Amino acid sequence: MKKFIALSLAAIMVVSVCACGSEKTKSAGKEIFSCYDLEVQNFVESFDASEIVTMIYQKNHDVSEKFILEDKKQINKLFQALCKVEVLEKTEERASDYDDIFIFTLRTAQAFTFAFNQHHLVIGNDAYYVQGDEELWKIAKEISSSENATGAVKGQMEDYQKKEESQQEKIKVIPTAAEQVVLEDYQTSEFSMKLPTGWVVNSGGNGMAFSLCAYDPQNPVNQVFVLLKAMPLMHDPNSRSYYEQSQQMYGGNYYIMADAPALENPSTENFYQIFSSYASFAEKDEPSYYGYTFPRFHDFTVMEAFESNSNMKSIAINPALLRASFTDESGRRGEGMFTADVVDFSGNLQDASWMFGFDTGYYMAYNIMAVTAEENSFIDWESILCQCLASIDFTDAFVSNAIAQSNETVANSRQLSQTLSDTSDMIMSSWETRNTSDDIIRQKQSDATLGFERIYDTEKDKIYKATNGWSDKYADDRFKLVTDDSMYTRPIDGYIDY
């Protein structure tokens, strides 16, 4: 049974067309589609009725009526009738109440419109006589025939709407883990912060050696990591033998210098290149880290570097805010934003290099912070992780203890907390200025690898992922296949399960 349904026509993108030029008007019987632009001609050449979501017939005569044609055979029949129309010369004949418009809408939401006034073809501001249009108007009359009068059509429209609503009710969207996050308060005698419900916080180290890592136990690569200071980072790996001998001769803490990793080319990037080695060293040689495990950033690869606005920028060596990818200790791939300020802290030790033939000096690193997530999902987690980092608030008791254990001038609790908040702001502002073209490529590659396509929910302004091919069956006016590249820079709100 034919399905002709009246419908209020929503705003639809109309593919631009170009009028038949004057040279075309001299040739009677011009094939209709040759008067349009290349995009329309490509549509015609590859026409497939199964790819047409709807064909809308808008009849504006004495009254305005809209009809939807869903039957693929009937859509094809009307298209073939349109193909038989030939364009003749221009005409100035126009009527204000005799328009017939045919709109073919593809699954991609792209629409191709063919308009007539008084049965004259209208392209832009010009109208043309036509011939061979008898079958077209016969089919148009069938669509608007008495069997599809207003009452019957209204009922069919209601059935169509119910069908569409029923389909949308069956479409189940499962929110992403990031979309489901609820932040809760976490507090110890040393600090307080906000973190997602269910996350775990580990901390270790005394005074300025303090470190914390808040992470998702279901996916530990999603994390917020802070280390106030890392030391020592040796200038020269050859100094190891000197400190080993010093340990044997004098005892004391020379073993720490002998075990410490070397940072031969000081910079934020190179600090993270050796961070896994530093973590192993610190867990072994620093008693206050007993029971605490540092995250690991193996295969650390910088994706993009941003200027640092750290409070230690003026004395740090090659400081930067880095966007990088890595592999954690369990082999999970992650990506995130990283910062650290490397400072030369050798004192008189560096002067001894002339004596030994190698540099015995060392660096320290401050403001070591990282917010990371599973590879290709940082875009979903960035704002949440930054909220958590900015919320960290050290207690006065913690600072008093740090002062008691350190020869350095330690900032007060407000200043320490402000440093973390400022770093969070720096991450967020840098993220907004990132190279989105690379992001788009990576997101598309990830979708292709995992077998997803992206769907835009026009009603809720949300982006979902669905298995490839989902849009071929279920895309409609609400759920549309993403075609705008800028949408690949937005977080994913959920996964369609239907």
pLDDT band at 111 (very low <50, low <70, confident <90, very high): confident
Mean pLDDT throughout 413-423?
81
Stretch 159-181: mean pLDDT, rounded? 72
pLDDT digits 0-9 by tens, 237-251: 887 878 888 777 777
pLDDT for residue 153 is more than 50: no
The neighbouring-strand residues paired with 4 are 69
pLDDT of residue 184: 97
Average pLDDT over residues 398-407: 75
pLDDT band at 354 (very low <50, low <70, confident <90, very high): low
- Map the chain to HEC letters: CCCEEECCCCCCCCCCCCCCCHHHHCCCCEEHHHHCCHHHHHHHHCCCHHHEEEEEEEEECCCEEEEEECCHHHHHHHHHHHHCCEEEEEECCCCCCCEEEEEEEECCCCEEEEEEECCEEEECCEEEEEECCHHHHHHHHHHCCHHHCHHHHHHHHHHHHHHHHHHHHHCEEEECCCCCCCEEEEECCCEEEEEECCCEEEEECCHHHCEEEEEECCEEEEEEEEEEEEEEEECCCCHHHHHHHHHHHHCCCHHHHHHCCECCCCCHHHHHHCHHHHHHHHHHHCHHHCCCCCCCCEEEEEEEEECCCCCCCCCCCCCEEEEEEEECCCCCEEEEEEEEEEEECCCCHHHHHHHHCCCCCEEEEEEEEEEEEECCCHHHHHHHHHHHHHHCEECHHHHHHHHHHCCCCCCCHHHHHHHHHHHHHHHHHHHHCCCHHHHHHHHHHHHHHHCEEEEEECCCCEEEEEECCHHHHHCCCCEEECCCHHHHHCCCCEEEEC
For residues 469-477, average pLDDT: 85
pLDDT, tens digit, 9 for 90 and up, residues 172-204: 899 999 999 999 999 999 999 999 999 999 999
Region 285-302 average pLDDT: 96
Average pLDDT over residues 11-31: 48
- Confidence (pLDDT) at 287: 92
pLDDT at 401 over 90: no
pLDDT digits (tens, 9 = 90+) for 438-450: 999 999 999 999 9
pLDDT of residue 167: 54
Does position 255 have pLDDT exceeding 90, yes or no?
no
Give the pLDDT confidence score for residue 25 in this predicted structure: 41
For the ranges 9-18, 331-340, 377-386, 489-498, the lowest mean pLDDT is seen at 9-18
Encode pLDDT of 300-347 as tens digits.
Answer: 999 999 999 998 999 999 999 999 999 999 999 999 999 999 999 875
pLDDT at residue 232 in the model: 93
Give the pLDDT of residue 448.
Answer: 93
Higher-pLDDT residue of 158, 81: 81
Bridge partners (DSSP) of residue 342 are 365
Above 90 in pLDDT, residue 157? no
Average confidence (pLDDT) over 280-306: 96
**Mean local confidence (pLDDT), 100-117:** 88
pTM equals 0.67
